[in-house]
A and B are shown apart, each in its own frame.
Chain A
């Protein structure tokens, strides 16, 4: 009732407010608007836009450490992409590792998360569903560093639980997981699978529950087979959620660093550095070996371009969610 009277009041005051004060009020609104966004915008400019801009400028120099260095044009980019054989070999290997990791993650996490959410959604027992959802979500709450250390113990050759489990079921159990270059990337994918599948599942589950039950009811009355229901009702309506999960997790995968840094001992990024991702490469060049900040910034920009390209491609292929905020 109160909102109604207030609405009426507003209607009545409008004509009076119009005219003389309107321009002044609008100017005042604009000024307060600028004043209110100013703190955020200042921080945004300093910590985001300026950082990106100065990263770009830095990538055109041969700066080392805190020395600004000389302007060298696109030399860093040229070195990375083809000119310097040692650097470009390392760079392309990092690109390969990062993309393999991303494909591995997307191919395992998204379908499994979808199936889990779908099955979970069919279970009518509310409390069982809540407990299971919590069980799948729990790994998300563990810090990546802790996760990596936990799995470092898990994959240990002689004392690790994994080899013990394999021995218990009679499989070969003398694999030195963390020291085998073939296994480095699959291990990263496996740990990420454990860590993130539940997160995607919860998102899918939330989206599944927004689907109007009357659609399913209608399909049931028409006698539509379950697979057809999945293909024609569930999947199209889940598209925004799938797009969101694919895009955000691809972006996250391409930036992966903490897991590979902590999973393998002594920051070696796997045996011979086979699992060195792009961000790990940045860290290596910029902070731990020779402090080549110019070069590291160039890798940063190339990584950024790769992320932007992958996101654009995914949005093009999967289509932007028509439901707005997904």
Chain B
């Protein structure tokens, strides 16, 4: 209920509330009520996780019936049971491992693909990109039977990789990253090209660092980072104007 009380119209900030018109005030009250209803099941769950089973289903709720005293009956028994008896720790670890591995693989594979679709010309690029987009429409849940057979056939069943590898196929990821990449100013790596860096190198050293979430707020043009710090090529950084082409251009 803490969220509700902090936003309730009666909270100690009358000066700001005074600026609201009546319809706006009615809106705030309405939203607070609906919001409290939305939060109630979660708060109940949170409360129940600290209680002994006998207390959970009592009515009126123990927390309400004798408010300050009921806080003393909180216990960590459920958590203890979860970790000691039901191995929740191991499950959490597995979730983290699978998620991290999945993110890493997705980022590498999808980003590489998105780079090619964003910057490289090759025959069949349009149809292939359309194919990738079209697979976004395929509901994989309806194909659980053949999916299971494929996973089994690749010896990925009963194996953590079976949870990681299939999730790297994210057409949405490719689409999103490509939309982001095409907005990166090409001048950022034109110089690296001239210096002889290949596409893999540009992708790894320039584009991939730029796709960090900090730079990638959706809807914003990526801010060109300080060029001097970009590891553009092995020999030198381009903006230090040691690169012959840039020097000739600025002359």
Contact = CB atoms under 8 A, between A and B. Distances in A.
A272 interface: no
Q: How large is the interface on A (under 10, 10 to 19, 20 to 34, 35 or more residues)?
A: 35 or more
Interface centre among A151, A164, A311 (most CB of B within 10 A): A164
A281 B139 CA distance: 15
Interface stretch (B66-74, B76-84, B86-94, B118-126): B118-126
A103 B64 CA distance: 38
A6 B128 contact: no
B150 A46 contact: yes
Interface in A50-96: 50-52, 54-55, 58, 66
A10 B187 contact: yes
Interface stretch (A174-182, A216-224, A229-237, A292-300): A292-300
Nearest to A301: B142
Contacts of B143: 51-52, 55, 297, 300, 304
A51 B140 contact: yes
Given A9-B245, A9-B250, A54 B146 contact: yes
A308 B138 CA distance: 9
A16 B2 CA distance: 69
B206 interface: no
A40 B249 contact: no
A283 B147 CA distance: 12
A142 interface: yes
B115 interface: yes
Contacts of B52: none
A66 B249 CA distance: 66
Interface in A127-171: 128, 131-132, 134-136, 138-139, 142, 150-151, 153-154, 156, 159-161, 164, 167-168
A130 to B, nearest CB: 10
A159 B54 CA distance: 11
A123 interface: yes
Contacts of A8: 249-250
Q: Is the interface of B mostly helix, strand, loop or mixed?
A: helix
Interface string A1-44: 01101111110110000000000001001111110110111011
Contacts of A164: 59-60
B142 A304 contact: yes
Given A3-B224, A54-B146, A125-B28, A40 B110 contact: yes
A102 interface: no
A9 B246 contact: yes
Contacts of B187: 3, 6-7, 10
B169 interface: yes
B142 A282 contact: yes
Nearest to A126: B16
Interface centre among B7, B39, B117, B179 (most CB of A within 10 A): B7
Given A30-B123, A286-B144, A293-B149, A37 B227 contact: no
Given A36-B199, A136-B38, A47 B144 contact: no
A198 B38 contact: yes
Interface in B121-155: 121-123, 125, 128, 131-132, 135, 137-150, 152, 154
A300 B145 contact: yes
Q: How large is the interface on B (under 10, 10 to 19, 20 to 34, 35 or more residues)?
A: 35 or more
Interface of A: 2-3, 5-10, 12-13, 26, 29-34, 36-37, 39-41, 43-44, 46-52, 54-55, 58, 66, 116, 119-120, 122-125, 128, 131-132, 134-136, 138-139, 142, 150-151, 153-154, 156, 159-161, 164, 167-168, 194, 197-198, 251, 254-255, 257, 278-279, 282-283, 286-287, 293, 296-297, 299-301, 303-304, 307-308, 311, 325
19 contacts: A10-B190, A29-B121, A30-B121, A33-B125, A37-B112, A41-B113, A41-B128, A48-B138, A48-B171, A52-B138, A123-B27, A132-B31, A138-B39, A139-B41, A150-B45, A161-B44, A286-B145, A301-B142, A304-B139
Interface of B: 3, 6-7, 16-17, 19-20, 23-24, 27-28, 30-32, 34-36, 38-39, 41-42, 44-45, 48, 56-57, 59-61, 109-110, 112-113, 115-117, 120-123, 125, 128, 131-132, 135, 137-150, 152, 154, 165-166, 168-169, 171, 174, 179, 185, 187, 190-191, 194, 198-200, 203, 224, 227, 238-239, 245-246, 248-250
